Amino acid sequence: MSLSALGAAALRRLEAETAHDLTIRALSAGLGPRQRTPEDPILATTVAGLSLPNPIGLAAGFDKNAEVHAPLLRAGFGWAECGTVTPQPQHGNPRPRLFRLAEDGAVINRLGFNNAGLDAFAGNLSRVSGVVGANLGANKDSEDRAGDYVTGLRRLAGVPAYFTVNISSPNTPGLRALQSRDALDDLLGRLREARTGSTPLFLKIAPDLSEPELRDVVDSAVGHALDGLIVSNTTLDRPDGLRGAERTEAGGLSGAPLFKRATQVLRTVAEMHSGLTLIGVGGVASGADAYAKLRAGASAIQLYTALIYAGPGLVGRIKRDLAARLRADGFASVAEAVGP
């Protein structure tokens, strides 16, 4: 067992959110791992104008307040997404609100956008180096949730490498309703008016949308000149066969059981041939998983839950395996492998 895996095993002995908080503190103190070898050139790619040393990114939810993006990039991620951040600080839902399903390689969370707010986030993100994005959310008690996204976009303008509009978290009541066509057109229209410069803007969607709903999302995203979609957030579904003792807890399910559903949604969206850049998220725990996302239509990949069980050494293993798979199938680059 690697040192990173031993560290992950030790953290799993603690309550889930306590372990997460300690990990953030350790990374802030400079105790994180560092990649010691050069990036394999076959992994370099460009996504929505962003030059990535490799396509493996950290998904939003880990670094909510943009405190540890630098050590995460040093650990080998090609890019990182911080947040979700809301205009005003909020505590989120009552604890416990984060549950491991170790037998399933999964997590259930109902955190509820707990974060320190835009001012703290902006101060931390101002020190960014590398491709780091900001995942925007709305406050639970906001009377104008679409306005909250506009506030975030304006407050952070010129700071992150890209923005993600997160309207697909299941843990803020009513938030997913913003994915309906009329509400989405209103939101994206207001964001389009507020955009300045050429910073890419992505929309993160749920894996629980029907095919007609996905078509509406795609059409709205294209119509309002978004750069791409992040597919997908956590699911409210509970697939058959879950074994974890806390599998009935309320919240969004992430990790291995999400992989099949999220990848199928990704493929469905890719086959709509919208021209949107797609980012594949959901259940990635190996080079094979990352490669499957590329072949299904993703230009880059994000992960988070698998790190809880495998530790930070997982990133290097995924990159080595992905590079080998690209070469074995005759591809000279990540971009060449993007399907379908």
User: Is the pLDDT score of 6 beyond 60?
Assistant: no
The pLDDT tens digits of the residues spanning 270-293 come to: 999 999 999 999 999 999 999 999
* Helices vs strands, H then E, count in the chain: 12, 13
CATH number for the domain harbouring residue 305: 3.20.20.70
* In the block, residue with structure tokens 């507020």: 194
d(CA 305, CA 275): 29
Cβ-contact 168, 205 below 8 angstroms: yes
* 3-class DSSP assignment, residue 263: helix
Q: What is the pLDDT of residues 120-158, one digit of tens each?
A: 999 999 877 899 999 999 999 999 999 999 999 999 999
**Can you give the residue range of the structural domain that contains 54?**
3-337
Which long-range contacts does 36-39 make (Cβ < 8 Å, 24+ apart)?
39/78, 39/319
Phi, psi dihedral angles at 85 (to 5 degrees): -115, 140
Summarised one tens digit per residue, pLDDT across range 59-69 is 999 999 999 99
The C-alpha angle 290, 327, 260, rounded to 5 degrees, equals 20
The per-residue pLDDT for range 306-336, each reduced to its tens digit, is 999 999 999 999 999 999 999 999 999 999 9
Question: Residues in the chain, how many?
Answer: 340
Return the closest-CA partner of residue 261 out of 297, 301, 230, 234.
Answer: 234
Q: Residues 13-59: pLDDT tens digits? A: 899 999 999 999 999 999 999 999 999 999 999 999 999 999 999 99
The pTM of the full predicted model, rounded to 2 decimals, is: 0.96
Q: Hey, is 7 helix, strand or coil? A: helix
Q: For the chain, percent helix, then strand, then coil, each to nearest 5?
A: 40, 15, 45
Distance, in Å, from the CA atom of 183 to the CA atom of 174, rounded to the nearest integer, reads 12
In angstroms and rounded to an integer, the radius of gyration of the C-alpha atoms of the chain is 18
Map tokens 């291995």 to a residue: 256
For residue 253, list its beta bridge partners: 108, 235
Of 4, 142, 169, 286, catalytic: 169
Are 171 and 111 in contact, with CB atoms under 8 Å apart? yes
Q: Are 209 and 235 in contact (CB under 8 A)?
A: no
β-strand 162-166 against 132-136: which pairing, if any?
parallel
A 10 A CB-CB count for 327 gives 12
Q: What distance in Å separates the CA atoms of residue 192 and residue 290, rounded to the nearest whole number?
A: 31
Distance separating alpha carbons of residues 165 and 249, to the nearest angstrom: 26
Mean pLDDT of the chain: 96
Tokens for 282, please give them.
Answer: 């959901």
Q: Do residues 279 and 228 touch, judged by C-beta distance below 8 A?
A: yes
Tell me the one-letter amino acid at 47: V
Q: Does residue 169 have an active-site annotation?
A: yes
Residue 294 pLDDT greater than 90, yes or no? yes
CB 99 within 8 A of CB 249: yes
For the chain, how many structural domains are there in total?
1
